[in-house]
């Protein structure tokens, strides 16, 4: 009897360990992976980021530095697969730390950001980062 009881305990431990490992693998595989890009912008009218694919969810845009921190800039998110469609836009100050979050509940697809300005005779030069959920 002691041998079979010991064997049952070991089998139970193995079963519990295997179940926990499988559950951990499933939850880690289901997590979203974030991607981010740093860009240097330099424009007097409009500037477009390269196209990027998302797995869905909002796109976060953050200014790292800007040549004219007291001026307003626009950040527009545009879907580019199929017919180009504007998803949403935000107006922010072109200063370090300014953030725009666009597209809550966004479906997966291909997008680009368009940076613009509200003031004529203004020239923007700086660095920004945008992040999004990477497609699986």
Per-residue confidence (pLDDT) for residue 83, from 0 to 100: 83
CA angle 15, 18, 24 (to 5 degrees): 140
pLDDT in tens, the chain (136 residues): 446 777 667 767 776 566 655 555 444 444 558 899 999 999 988 999 999 999 989 999 999 999 988 899 999 999 998 888 899 999 999 999 999 999 888 889 999 999 998 777 778 999 999 999 988 8
Residue 39, C-beta contacts closer than 8 angstroms, at least 6 positions apart:
49, 127, 128, 129, 130
Asked whether the beta carbons of 129 and 78 are under 8 A apart, the reply is no
Q: What's the predicted TM-score (pTM) here?
A: 0.73
Per-residue confidence (pLDDT) for residue 28, from 0 to 100: 47
Per-residue confidence (pLDDT) for residue 133, from 0 to 100: 92
Per-residue confidence (pLDDT) for residue 10, from 0 to 100: 74
Per-residue confidence (pLDDT) for residue 27, from 0 to 100: 46
Per-residue confidence (pLDDT) for residue 30, from 0 to 100: 44
Asked whether the beta carbons of 71 and 116 are under 8 A apart, the reply is no
């Amino acid at each position: 009897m002691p041998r079979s009881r010991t064997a049952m305990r070991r089998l139970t431990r193995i079963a519990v360990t295997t179940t926990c490992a499988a559950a951990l693998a499933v939850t880690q595989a289901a997590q979203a992976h974030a991607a981010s890009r740093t860009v240097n912008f330099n424009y007097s009218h409009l500037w477009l980021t390269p196209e990027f694919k998302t797995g869905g969810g909002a796109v976060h845009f953050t200014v790292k530095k800007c040549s004219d921190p007291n001026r307003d800039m626009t950040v527009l998110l545009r879907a580019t697969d199929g017919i180009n469609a504007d998803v949403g836009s935000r107006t922010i100050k072109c200063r370090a730390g300014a953030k725009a979050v666009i597209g809550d509940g966004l479906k997966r697809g291909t997008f680009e950001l368009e940076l613009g300005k509200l003031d004529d005779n203004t020239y923007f030069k700086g660095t920004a980062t945008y992040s999004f959920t990477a497609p699986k």
